[in-house]
Amino acid sequence: MLRRTHTCGELRDAHVGQTVRLNGWVNAYRGHGTGLVFIDLRDRFGVTQVVFDGEALPKDTLDTADHLRNEDVVAVEGRVRVRAGGENPKLATGKIEVEVTTLEVLNKTANPPFLPDDTGGGGKLANEELRLKHRYIDLRRPSMQHAITTRHKVYQATRRYFDENGFLEIETPILYKSTPEGAREFLVPSRNIPGNWYALPQSPQLFKQILMVAGCDRYMQICRCFRDEDPRADRQAEFTQIDLEMSFVRREHVIEMMEGFVRRLWKEMTGYAVPPIPVMPYREAMERFGIDRPDTRYGLEIADISEIAARSDAGFFKEALAKGADRPKFNSQRGVVKALRVPGGAEKLTRKMTDGYNEFVRSFGAGGCAVVKVNAAGELETGIAKLLAPVKDDLKAALGLTPGDTVLFVADTYAVCTKAMGELRQVVARDTGVVPKPGSEGGPWNFLIVVDFPMFEKNKDTGKWVAMHHPFTAPRDDQAEAFVAASVDDENTIESIVSAGYDIVLNGQEIAGGSVRIHDPRVQSKVFTLLGLTPEQAKEKFSFLLEALQYGAPPHAGIAFGLDRLVMNFLGTSNIRDVIAFPKTQIGQDLMTGAPGPVTDEQLKDVHARAIRP
């Protein structure tokens, strides 16, 4: 084989006169038959034009060259020369060409189902289903090579940063024990212990805490996690986390370390210097933006107008406000009325759109979405304007209304209203064109750290408390005593306890989340009690961690970044499959390998399992 001396992206006019060898794929054929053939040769480094000149070559070489086709794999040897036909400014190597003296066809291709061209060979990309089936061809596309390379750089920058800061990279088991809380798990039957199963980890949570007890001090791992839940555009059942844990730290120390990581990563990947990241309490995020991961690239803040609404003539406002009126402010079951002022909405929002919003908020359990417009005279009109007449001046002042605005109202319990408004805000932002381009396309990178999450929330269906983060999340340091002292039946107090958890949010997307962990046994047992676990059940599920925590556990805290989402941000894609070499489809199939596939009865017998076939 004529092994390459250079890559296809390397040669410049400085190489003119040198004899070189290139290996690669035929990216394009431009033949003039009897006398002259051009081939663009591609590898992951670039494209170089090689030329076969009939006058200088044996007939059979020219003949072979004339039959080269896209995706054939070849090796050539020849001399670098300035292009006789003029420069091609589209190519980095466009000033030169290689005049071939020897051609070796390393592999003729079958006719490929599509070409790995970012323009689809002159048209659109082949559909994703086909590209996933022949992933090895799709991955040859320059933009996919770029994605893979970008992901590689994120790995390397991550390892450098955490190595410099004293973290040890430690692997944790993939065959793990089932912990039925949280996401549905993938199960693996045991051959040696009949009737028992491993589970694939949703995250290495318990192991990383154990590593702190084990004195490892600082742990990091770029690890695969598995959650058998339905995917989304930015979510796969199988995904990658940058998983971290630190000993002898409190919340602010972890946040400082993570902010340093974000700053380093963005500097290396984009050149952008991340400014100090603002910290916002969960409560404030919910009040102003209706969501725990607010997109702060635009305004459109939500206002609580409950007090004003109570004095209006709108019966449905009063009805909503009557709900849970005896509960404290911000209690999830207490009725509220919220308003969203849409600047210029009178013009930007059509009747059809606002009707759509009405339906939209209903999907989150709200009764509907009321609308008023502010006319040129500054008066409220249309929709529920008449019902608001008694409070119009208060409303104008509270919301800062100006002519041309539209105001959207939702009235319901705090939980429903906040959720509906938060979602509505994002839709309205898109509809009115106030969402900037992503950072990777020149728009802002807006980072935010959200803290002070509630420890617990009520499950809608069962009415039981569930941990908002996970059962090992500590209360904020100043809340621990109140938490331990609180009665299990005191819902209002339990709901008000905030945790020492933290999320990092980028442009409205959660890119990392973590917490300080419980190392006080009193707090831990209180958490289990609230979650409805008896000491025996808790021991059964988490025995090894609980046991370990008894033997000298240092205070510790950690966090995990969603690596796939980080890479997506650097690439400016909203499709997680673009950043995973071998992704799965919506129903978890790998279209290339055909996984998941059937197994034989013999295999099942081996692992003491039987299939229930539909």
Q: Residues 590 to 609: which contact RNA by CB under 7 A? A: 591
Q: Which of residues 432-461 bind RNA (CB under 7 A)?
A: 460
For 104, the token pair is 């070796």
Binding of RNA by 492 (CB under 7 A): no
Q: Tell which one of 10, 29, 105, 458 touches RNA (CB under 7 A).
A: 29
Binding of RNA by 202 (CB under 7 A): yes
Query: Least distance from C-beta 344 to RNA, angstroms?
Result: 26
- Name the amino acid, one letter, at 588: G
Query: Least distance from C-beta 402 to RNA, angstroms?
Result: 31
Look at the block and give the residue holding tokens 């430690």: 170
600-609: long-range pairs with CB below 8 Å, 24+: 606/191, 607/189, 607/190, 607/191, 608/189, 608/190, 608/191, 608/194, 608/195, 609/189
Binding of RNA by 364 (CB under 7 A): yes
Q: Nearest CA to 228 among 593, 528, 595, 588?
A: 588
Binding of RNA by 181 (CB under 7 A): yes
Closer of 340 and 401 to RNA (Cβ) = 340
Binding of RNA by 509 (CB under 7 A): no
C-alpha distances in Å from residue 417, one per residue of 235, 310, 338, 424: 26, 16, 7, 10
Closer of 60 and 129 to RNA (Cβ) = 129
Residues β-bridged to residue 52: 37
* Strands 335-342 and 302-304, sheet pairing: antiparallel
3-class DSSP state of 400: coil
Binding of RNA by 36 (CB under 7 A): yes
How many residues in the shown chain lie near RNA by CB under 7 A?
79
Closer of 147 and 305 to RNA (Cβ) = 147
Burial code (b: 16+ CB inside 10 Å, e: under 16) for 87-115 equals ebeebbbbbbbbbbeebeeeeeeeeeebb
Rg, the chain, Cα only: 30
Q: Tell which one of 35, 173, 378, 403 touches RNA (CB under 7 A).
A: 35
Q: Tell which one of 95, 208, 470, 476 touches RNA (CB under 7 A).
A: 470
Binding of RNA by 363 (CB under 7 A): yes
In degrees, to the nearest 5, what angle opens at C-alpha 63 toward C-alphas 58 and 68?
Answer: 130
Binding of RNA by 180 (CB under 7 A): no
For 613, the token pair is 């076939």
Q: Tell which one of 105, 148, 157, 183 touches RNA (CB under 7 A).
A: 183
Q: Which of residues 56-95 bind RNA (CB under 7 A)?
A: 66-67, 69-70, 83-88, 90-91, 94
Q: Tell which one of 177, 184, 224, 608 touches RNA (CB under 7 A).
A: 184
Q: Which of residues 207-266 bind RNA (CB under 7 A)?
A: 227, 229-235
Binding of RNA by 578 (CB under 7 A): no
For 552, the token pair is 């000298």
Rama region for 383: left / alpha / beta (φ>0; ψ in -120 to 50; rest): left
Quote the DSSP letter at residue 303.
E
Instruction: With contacts defined by CB under 7 A, name the span among 50-58, 292-300, 518-526, 593-601 that binds RNA.
Output: 50-58
Instruction: With contacts defined by CB under 7 A, name the span among 49-57, 190-198, 257-265, 287-295 that binds RNA.
Output: 49-57
Query: Least distance from C-beta 454 to RNA, angstroms?
Result: 11
Closer of 87 and 171 to RNA (Cβ) = 87
Instruction: With contacts defined by CB under 7 A, name the span among 332-340, 404-412, 466-474, 521-529 that binds RNA.
Output: 466-474
Peptide bond into 596 cis (omega under 30): yes
Contact assessment for residue 238 and residue 556, using Cβ atoms and an 8 Å cutoff: no
For 441, the token pair is 């396309």
Query: Least distance from C-beta 274 to RNA, angstroms?
Result: 26
Instruction: With contacts defined by CB under 7 A, name the span among 33-41, 322-330, 375-383, 546-554 that binds RNA.
Output: 33-41
Binding of RNA by 51 (CB under 7 A): yes
Main-chain dihedrals φ then ψ at residue 357, nearest 5 degrees: -65, -40
Query: Least distance from C-beta 280 to RNA, angstroms?
Result: 20
Query: Least distance from C-beta 245 to RNA, angstroms?
Result: 13
3-class DSSP state of 360: helix
Query: Least distance from C-beta 564 to RNA, angstroms?
Result: 13
3-class DSSP state of 568: helix
Query: Least distance from C-beta 200 to RNA, angstroms?
Result: 13
Q: Which of residues 119-158 bind RNA (CB under 7 A)?
A: 119-130, 132
